[in-house]
């Protein structure tokens, strides 16, 4: 079957007018993909909201109760970056459910892509940096609990360190966290991933790709994971408002194609999420996120 794309029904979330997180990007990304072969030839799957029992494997009971029932105080809402609403809870649970479905589809088909996901700043007991529930961690814990896999590699190439994911799996040797991110970017207080590769401001395509190549192939050999969960954040792009790195559109495509090919040549299933991206030009932003799906589609065509 064609590689699966996981789509999330859109929700309108009440945000401040100066909020840097463009919620409409998910709708624009779907519209963009529907116009392309990458979307037309794909098998679109619609996720169900993640069950609270799945969330409990990662998040504390106290935090889940406060988030799910609207009892986050003002300080917690400011840290999250969102004003609480029932629509926000529903959208977030769908996003996490989508990453669970992406993992399941990847294990069945070898490759699957989410049209959302990458909320790697969410900690077990708190939201942070526009991340309310950690979809990467919940999906990894779910796959381990179901005994679908024994060893997972999380490849986090968002421009921001995956601090929440690193902390959640700090003492779990079944999950190896690899974060390659801007050294001078959020969060100010970094956590310790199993492997952190901080990059200087202004890093461009060739240097970025050379550094990635120097690490990822070795990790796949050394860890031999049963699954890779890939956070393909596009906030590494030169025009991203929050990134401070300097990848081009071509660089994003080469990065995603490289990660997909390397994992599949190692016969490792790869579940990919779109990660961060912050640009008020939603068409340009959706085009960057679409690079992941285009790279996956091209790989699928080559294997037919």
Note the pLDDT tens digit of each residue in 89-98. 999 999 999 9
Quick: pLDDT tens for 161-205.
999 999 999 999 999 999 999 999 999 899 999 999 999 999 999
Question: Looking at the whole model, is its pTM more than 0.75?
Answer: yes
Say whether pLDDT at 9 is over 70: no
Report the percent of the chain where pLDDT is more than 90.
82
C-alpha distance from residue 85 to each of 191, 277, 289 (Å): 29, 23, 26
**Does residue 14 surpass a pLDDT of 70?**
no
Residue 291 has what pLDDT?
96
The closest alpha carbon to 174, from 210, 211, 140, 138, belongs to 140
- Confidence class for position 20, pLDDT limits 50, 70, 90: low
Is the per-residue pLDDT at 42 higher than 90? no
Report pLDDT for 121: 97
Tell me which of 78-82, 136-140, 237-241 is least confident: 78-82
pLDDT confidence tier of residue 19, bands split at 50, 70 and 90: low
pLDDT digits (tens, 9 = 90+) for 70-124: 999 999 988 888 889 998 999 999 999 999 999 999 999 999 999 999 999 999 9
Q: How confident is the model at residue 40 (pLDDT cuts 50, 70, 90)?
A: confident
Measured distance CA(211)–CA(198) in Å, rounded: 10
Give the pLDDT score at 17: 45
Q: What is the pLDDT of residue 239?
A: 96
Does the pLDDT of residue 248 top 60, yes or no? yes
Tens-digit pLDDT profile for residues 51-73: 999 999 999 999 999 999 999 99
* pLDDT score of 15: 45
Residues 6+ apart with CB under 8 A from 136: 99, 117, 118, 119, 120, 154, 156, 162, 165, 229, 231, 273
């Amino acid at each position: 079957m064609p590689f699966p794309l996981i789509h999330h029904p859109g929700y309108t979330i009440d945000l401040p007018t100066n909020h840097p997180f463009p919620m409409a990007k998910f709708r624009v990304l779907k519209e963009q993909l529907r116009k392309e072969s990458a979307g037309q030839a794909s098998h679109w799957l619609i996720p169900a909201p993640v069950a609270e029992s799945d969330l409990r494997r990662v998040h504390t009971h106290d935090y889940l109760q406060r988030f799910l029932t609207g009892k986050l105080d003002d300080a917690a809402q400011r840290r999250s970056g969102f004003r609480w609403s029932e629509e926000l809870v529903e959208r977030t649970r769908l996003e996490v459910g989508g990453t669970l479905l992406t993992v399941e589809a990847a294990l069945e088909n070898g490759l699957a892509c989410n049209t959302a996901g990458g909320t790697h700043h969410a900690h077990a007991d708190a939201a942070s940096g526009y991340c309310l529930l950690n979809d990467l961690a919940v999906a990894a814990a779910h796959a381990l609990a179901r005994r679908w896999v024994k060893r997972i590699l999380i490849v986090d190439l968002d421009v921001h360190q995956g601090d929440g994911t690193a902390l959640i799996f700090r003492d779990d040797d079944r999950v190896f966290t690899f974060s390659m991110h801007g050294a001078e970017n959020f969060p100010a207080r970094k956590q310790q991933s199993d492997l952190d590769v901080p990059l200087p401001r202004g890093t461009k395509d060739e240097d970025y790709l050379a550094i990635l190549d120097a690490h990822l192939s070795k990790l796949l050999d050394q860890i031999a994971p049963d699954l890779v969960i890939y956070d393909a954040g596009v906030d590494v792009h030169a025009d991203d408002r929050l990134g401070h790195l300097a990848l081009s559109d071509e660089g994003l495509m080469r990065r995603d194609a490289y990660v997909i090919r390397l994992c599949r040549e190692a016969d490792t299933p790869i579940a990919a999420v779109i990660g961060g991206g912050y640009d008020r030009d939603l068409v340009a932003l959706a085009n960057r996120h679409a690079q992941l799906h285009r790279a996956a589609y091209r790989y699928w065509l080559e294997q037919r």
